[in-house]
Structure 1
Amino acid sequence: MREYLVVAAVVLAGIALVASAMGARRLLAPADPTTAKLTTYESGVDPVGAGWEQGSVRYLVYTLLYVIFAVDAVYLFPWALVIRSDLGAASLVEMAIFIGVLVVALLHVWRRGLLRWW
């Protein structure tokens, strides 16, 4: 039962920290809401016209590629740190296959022309 008390104490401490930070911001931050401050701001462009505008799918592709390769890099770092231990040749082969799949995916994306900006 003691472990549950520790978890409860940590959760309560986290809630208390968030609540105190929100309260401090409420007390200390200046508040001067004007019409200009309450309007929507989108990349320096005034919100004029309809709220829906067609965007380019190209940016979504770049975002997904970044997320894929960033997550894969997250898996590479711990592996690189423990490769000196008893993982041996099997781990090296598994990581070579993993990196090979990433290279094939990158070559496929490059061949399809998805890495061009224009």
Structure 2
Amino acid sequence: MLEQFIFVGVLLVVALFLPIVLIGLAWLLRPKRPNPRKSEIYECGLQPHGENWVQFKAQYYIFALVFLIFDVEAVFLFPWALVYNWLPLYAVLEGVLFIALLAAALVYAWQKGALEWM
């Protein structure tokens, strides 16, 4: 029984320690030539115009989150739509419930103004 988990344990140890070892190795082998020019702020390779700190409106983040949520949920709908004709009734009802939940979330986001683009 324990033999089955040996491979999982080895994979877990490798997955935990390999990134640590590689990051440490990169830190040790990096070129260490500090230069004030390297620490300067740049804007697409040019000198920056205006202030260094620009604060974006929270509305952009909310719009991006709503897009991300619906984009991921659309990915879940594609496999369901491909096998729609061969699914039993309960699976079709679950898909319809999922679509109804998406529609309710879209209506809620619309009413709250999350879809307004400034």
Structure 1 regions of 5+ residues with no counterpart?
none
1:71 aligns with 2:85: no
How many positions carry a matched residue from both structures? 115
Query: 1:109, 1:115 within 8 Å by CA — same for their partners in 2?
Result: yes
Shift of 1:10: 1.0
Shift of 1:14: 2.0
One-letter amino acid of the counterpart of residue 68, structure 1? I
Q: TM-score by structure 2 length?
A: 0.62
Deviations 1:64-116 (A, max 9, x none): 2023213323432453466566x412211221221122123323433554323
Residue 103 of structure 2 corresponds to 103
Q: TM-score by structure 1 length?
A: 0.62
Identity %: 31
One-letter amino acid of the counterpart of residue 57, structure 1? A
Residue 88 of structure 2 corresponds to 88
Shift of 1:9: 1.2
More contact order relative to length (CA 8 Å, sep ≥ 6): 2
Deviations 1:37-90 (A, max 9, x none): 3356789857958x7x764121121122023213323432453466566x4122
Structure 2 regions of 5+ residues with no counterpart?
none
Deviations 1:3-27 (A, max 9, x none): 2322221122223432443245335
Deviation larger for 101-110 or 55-64: 101-110
For 2:85 and 2:71, locate their aligned partners in 1 and report how far apart those are by CA, in whole Å.
23
Q: Aligned Cα RMSD in Å? A: 3.7
Query: 1:40, 1:47 within 8 Å by CA — same for their partners in 2?
Result: no
